Structure 1
Amino acid sequence: MRPEPRLDIIGAALADPTRARILCEMMDGRAFTNKELSCAANITPPTATAHLKQLEQAGLTTSMRSGRHVYHRITNEQVASALEKLSTLTPSDHVRRAAKPDSGVLLARCCYNHLAGRLGVWITDNLLDTGVLQLAHGVLAPGPRYHAFLTDLDLNPPRVSAHRPVAKFCLDWTERRNHISGPLGIAILEKALKDKWLARQRSSRALTITPDGKIALTRHFGLSDSALDCLGSSVRSMAKR
């Protein structure tokens, strides 16, 4: 028997629409109870337990006990990245048709531990255009304004290494363009949530830009009111198609 990767195990775990829905619910990086996931997938808790068991056996999720509750989450960043890449291969027209103009899922959302959606792509473009990041031999690296940017946002320099660069491109599922993941992407999302620039939406990966967030995004990323309106208009236009 040849030592080939068991892609069939992963494929079987992803083949059920309910398990796919559960994974999507976890893609904002948080941990969920069985009851929360069963409600999100519109199934009974015992059915959710069976699905979660198969996902964990495939290595896609992990569970942990805290007090009386067991929490489930995506196994790690590598699994989340692989799932996001697979998502870009799937049709997304239904997302645009089903998205409400104010749902926010197309405008801004969590991609496990970093920012995605139209806002994530905008910020990535801004970081490259302003010299915070630069491409060096096909790899993202700190640019001439990197340290000034960290100081301005009051961020500690993220830990990086030869095997963990400051940022990586992550192909956005709905935009089909790159946003950034990696240490800097994680730090930006954590800062935005901590300082309440962005607010999580209940039962969704979507993020809402707060009034304070509009001010901060304008200051740090050049996202003016007109640019924000343009992003929102583009999302509403796509949602109507």
Structure 2
Amino acid sequence: MRRRDNHDGQGQGGAAAAEQAGNRGVRRAGGETGGGSPLPVFLFPSELLFHSEDRNSHRRVLTLYNPYSFNMSFKMWCTAPSLYRVVEAEGSVRAKSCVDLVVRHLDVSPRNWGRRDRFRLEVRGGGQVGGREIWAELRGGEEGGGGGGGEDEEERKMKRRQGAEERRGQQRALSALTPLSPLLVPTHTHLQLPTCTAVRSVSQWVVCVAVAVLCVAVLMLPLHTDSSSVVPRCLHVSTNQKLVCAYTLGLLTMVFLR
């Protein structure tokens, strides 16, 4: 795990200076795309909410998906790096896979309640550059409670609906970009598999029964040393042949009993 420390000139109470420095960093990074078509970035969730009295909410996870056929490198930027710690803020993600970025809030004191900071994730891959911005907010009270948020129930429901619609749209885009695997496409071979298995099982039993009958018939034949027999001489068998048939019949008996 690595910690990225950016110095944006923010001191005690210097939130405005940090915001301006972050905006300059975002504009400078965004100018590297060169005017080409930006690479879509699939990052979930779209907003980070921290609650001062809920320790579990001090740690949030961002998931970066790479649905493309090439590897991507990424780097995380923030307008207030002194308030957050991002595990693996810079790295790479392989093709057709994802990576989790853990964001931890370092100062949940009341002076930061209601503060909104901006994160920007930049990605590079396949000769293209893309970026995605998300907001982080610290609220007072516990998660699910009304303390320090300043929002009523209707506004929270509206935000949840908007977030759900955005996730559905991103999932549809992922489905369009990711091709179907051949294992997921039903074929006639898959539909006929139970019938083929049943036919093969019946044929195996017929062969086993035929071999068992042959072994019994060989065991009933006389030895080649017996001279007084009504059976023709050409049908006499040796002791070794009878032993082999007896051994085979024993194995088939175990198969039948199982």
**Fold match by TM threshold 0.5:** no
Larger Rg over CA atoms: 2
Report the TM-score when normalising by structure 2. 0.20
Greater RCO structure (CA 8 Å; 6+ sep): 1
Which structure shows the higher strand fraction?
2
Report the TM-score when normalising by structure 1. 0.21
Which structure shows the higher helix fraction?
1
